[in-house]
Amino acid sequence: MVKSYYLGLDIGGTKCAVLAGTDQMEILDRVQFATETVKGPDYAISKLVSATESMIGKFGLENLNTIGISCGGLLDSRRGIIQSPPNLPGWDNIEIVKMLKEKIDVPVFLQNDANACALAEWRFGAGKGVQNMIFLTFGSGMGAGLILDGRLYPGTNDLGGEVGHIRLEDDGPEGFGKKGSFEGFCSGNGIPQLAREVIRKKVDNGEHPDILEKINDMGKLTTKELAEAANGGDETAREIFKISGSYLGKGLSLLIDILNPERIVIGSVYARNPHLFEEACRKVIEREAIPSAAAVCEVVPAALGDKVGDYASLSVAMTR
């Protein structure tokens, strides 16, 4: 018999999930469905509400503590409004918290996915046990969630942690609408841009790098393909990740100097291939960061892997 549980809603551009779980992260039930953004927000929201009501019917309203929502993109966590995320076209000023509270009389909390994942890694993953932690998404983009003095820091209007916008060079791969940005050099969308530039320069210098034989379409090159080539020993691919790693070290040095964290937890691309970045990253941190701040900061891969989305939405529910 379930005595106490939480509900988590994970809203993404490709898929959504609703799950019930305990404060020990025992997943009691889970429903997933395609977001189908072409059908507009009403389609996904109706399915979210239906799944939520179904789980409450199964586990009881009296046993439900809170509901947490994790959603990518811009939002207003204080008012519970989703504000036109780029991966959710048509989701303009959606009062998601109000919609749920009108149906279900329990507290509902909303956070962006970087903050939600930071809470998850802090409570249950690689950040467990520290008071000051930075979580970096390092997925298709680069965002951060900040845990400072044992609390999530969202910023004045939920823009705390938008580290991908930091410009590391005057020019370079574009991310977050800015060339030479942290996101440009260190993200799943940015690394292929960097690769095309590195390969082009080699070809212009009369070289024919081996990686050209392994790539079917340079215009559709992915970070996954590059990682596979690097792990297979391709020197050009390894060079590309070293460059990205150097800029990762540059970005982390700024964060270490400003926020003095105990731990920096990095997800997705980095977490799957930390060995491709670590050496170059560490060398830059040793050169650039305040030594005493760098000495107390660990840089580690995220621990939750594919479970992070589920843990994230439930962690929002657990963190008032």
Contact 153, 133 (CB under 8 A): no
Count of positions (residues) in the chain: 320
Is position 118 within any domain?
A: no
Question: How many structural domains comprise the chain?
Answer: 2
Q: Do 87 and 131 reside in the same domain of the chain?
A: no
Residue-level pLDDT at 212: 85
Is position 120 within any domain?
A: no
The letter for the amino acid at 121 is E
Q: Do 97 and 131 reside in the same domain of the chain?
A: no
Contact 45, 94 (CB under 8 A): yes
Residue-level pLDDT at 96: 97
Digits of tens for pLDDT over the chain (320 positions)? 678 999 999 999 899 999 999 999 999 999 999 999 999 999 999 999 999 999 999 999 999 999 999 998 889 999 999 998 888 999 999 999 999 999 999 999 999 999 999 999 999 999 999 999 999 999 999 999 999 999 999 999 999 999 999 999 999 999 999 999 999 999 999 999 999 999 999 999 999 888 888 777 788 899 999 999 999 999 999 999 999 999 999 999 999 999 999 999 999 999 999 999 999 999 999 999 999 999 999 999 999 998 998 999 999 999 86
Place of tokens 């997943």: 27
Domain limits for position 241: 126-303
Q: Do 61 and 165 reside in the same domain of the chain?
A: no
Contact 16, 31 (CB under 8 A): no
Q: Do 97 and 221 reside in the same domain of the chain?
A: no
Q: Do 141 and 285 reside in the same domain of the chain?
A: yes
- Give me the CATH number covering residue 220: 3.30.420.40
Q: Do 228 and 266 reside in the same domain of the chain?
A: yes
Q: Do 95 and 223 reside in the same domain of the chain?
A: no
Is position 119 within any domain?
A: no
Q: Do 311 and 297 reside in the same domain of the chain?
A: no
Is position 299 within any domain?
A: yes
Q: Do 246 and 272 reside in the same domain of the chain?
A: yes
Q: Do 132 and 97 reside in the same domain of the chain?
A: no
Angstrom distance (rounded) from CA 57 to CA 27: 16
Q: Do 53 and 147 reside in the same domain of the chain?
A: no
**H/E run at residue 96:** helix 96-103
pTM assigned to the model: 0.94
Whole-number Cα distances in Å, 256 to 129, 132, 164, 253, 265 = 19, 11, 15, 5, 12
Residue-level pLDDT at 1: 64
Name the DSSP class of 310.
H
46, two tokens: 């109706």
Is position 277 within any domain?
A: yes
Q: Do 150 and 90 reside in the same domain of the chain?
A: no
